[in-house]
Amino acid sequence: MTNPYKQSYKQDIIDNVSLAIFSSGLQSCTPKHSWGPGVRDHYLVHFVISGRGQYECNGKVYNIKAGEMFLIKPSQVVHYIADSNDPWEYYWVGFNGTYAQKVINNLPFKDNSPVYAPKDFETCKEYLYQIYENSGSSLSNSTAMLGYLYLFLAKLMEEGNTISPVASVAQSNYVIEAIKFIQFNYSTDISVDHIANAVGISRSHLYRVFVSNLGQSPIDYLTEYRINEACELLKNTNLSISQVAVSVGFFDQFYFSRVFKKIKKIPPSKYLQSLENQGEA
């Protein structure tokens, strides 16, 4: 057993982009060290490097040993605990975003089997370590962390060989084209009908492929994209809130404020104030 330790990094502000890291870290646990029962609001993968423990999910208990990883999904009630004689040491990464559900659907974890033993132990371990090793608030840090997360997820996809069939690839292309249209036109008064017409499919078909690939509707994606762009404008320009609202396709400032608060949990005025406070600090 290694000496107990915990090293972790957690992002302070998470924008709801395609894929964003919430936290990462390494920990050697003390005997019977546990978490839960509780729920997470993001996806979380633990990779056990040494030792043993138990993971309880959906009413089932899994005995986890070194070389195995387990997946926690948002809103699942879970509980995990280190073995009393041989407590585990693990690396972890937490992430979420509009692309997260599609990624998870292509990993070798299943709803009835949230545990997986990767074939390439060392590579998976190294990618998770590098996510933590590159932690920081600078653009270079966040880019490196996200890069290693993509490599880690790609490795699991490759091992699981669960990439969606050709029919799903066609659906993904519709989503990609729809996202491109949104990126170029979000500042104008576009609707779901405009997006569907631009892609060349019906509104109902567009809804189905968005939910299948991204886990959310086209209007929810459009709204979140606009609000995230608004956050960038508030951070990096001197535009007023009303000017920012118009710039991202909201022509009613009061409606913009309501939507902003619903997604970011605070109104734009307080979000702007928090940025100013950070700058002063």
User: Could you state, in order of their start, the residue ranges of all structural domains in the chain?
Assistant: 5-160, 166-280
CATH numeric code, 5-160: 2.60.120.280
CATH numeric code, 166-280: 1.10.10.60
Which distant-in-sequence residues (6+ apart) come within 8 Å of 95 by Cβ? 19, 20, 21, 22, 42, 43, 149
DSSP state, residue 56? E
Closest listed residue to residue 169, CA positions, set 98, 96, 101, 102: 102
Burial of 67 (0-12, 13-18, 19+ CB in 10 A): middle
Question: What pLDDT does residue 1 have?
Answer: 54
Task: State yes or no: cis peptide before 4, omega within 30 of 0.
Answer: no
Per-residue pLDDT tens over the stretch 203-237: 999 999 888 877 889 999 999 999 989 998 998 88
Question: What pLDDT does residue 142 have?
Answer: 86
Residue ranges of the chain with pLDDT lower than 70?
Answer: 1-2, 5-6, 8-17, 161-172, 278-281
Question: What pLDDT does residue 25 have?
Answer: 94
How many CB atoms within 10 Å of residue 138?
9
Mean pLDDT score of the chain: 87
Domains 5-160 and 166-280 share a fold: no
pTM, rounded to two decimals? 0.59
Q: What 3-state DSSP class applies to 52?
A: strand
Q: What 3-state DSSP class applies to 182?
A: helix
